[in-house]
Amino acid sequence: MPLPARRWQISRRSWLLAGLTVPVFPGRGAQSIDVSFDGDNLRVSAPSLHFLTGKPLERLKDAATVVFLSQLTLFAENHDMAIRRVPERFVVSYDLWEEKFSVTQLGSSPRSTPHVLSAPAAEAWCLEGLAISALGVAPNRPFWLRFELRTADQKDLAGGAGEPGLNLRSLIELFSRKPGPDDPNWTREVGPLRLEDLRRAAGRGARNG
């Protein structure tokens, strides 16, 4: 969806907020995400983000699968309008013998890990599959990017959150629900950013969102 045809002006408040950080994990201090641009999509990486721990890991070691819901949201520079959002789902399982993980990404670009992975490798693999189109964003126009990750509530799983046929509207609705007390969630927001200032990443396929 193209951006509104209006003059872009960076507010003083936006510049002040640029120096602030939002913690990814409660109680672990500020941990950032890195944003890159491959010419079509915005992509994120977060080497310090470890989500295959705690309650999710306990569930995996009890032989349950865990579904993670992720969402990237692109905002205009005044931060009052979402330009687009892209939700994704990851179904994670755990091999008790090898003590490693398998992941399947459902949604816009379905894919699966080629073999079992260590926890850090599986976490990195999930984030490598996240992208949101920068279509309509001029190289010199500021924008904000929000990254969200949460585990699906058990009620969500009963409703089919892990099924491949779940449509985009249903997934966005699921993501809008408040996580349960045993369902960890992480949020990180960065900006204002500009495409012309971002690190360039190698292109990895068609646009998302």
Pairwise CA distance, residues 103 & 66, whole Å: 10
Q: Which residues of 102-133 are buried (b: 16+ CB within 10 A; e: fewer)?
A: bbbbbbbeeeebeebbebeebbebbbebbbbb
Q: pTM (2 decimals)? A: 0.74
For residue 201, what pLDDT is reported? Answer: 75
pLDDT at 155 over 90: no
Tens-digit pLDDT profile for residues 169-183: 666 666 666 666 666
Q: In this predicted structure, which of 21-30, 142-151, 177-186, 197-206 has the lowest mean pLDDT?
A: 21-30
Q: How confident is the model at residue 25 (pLDDT cuts 50, 70, 90)?
A: very low
Residues composing the chain: 209
Contact 180, 154 (CB under 8 A): yes
Pairwise CA distance, residues 108 & 97, whole Å: 32
168's enclosing H/E stretch is helix 168-176
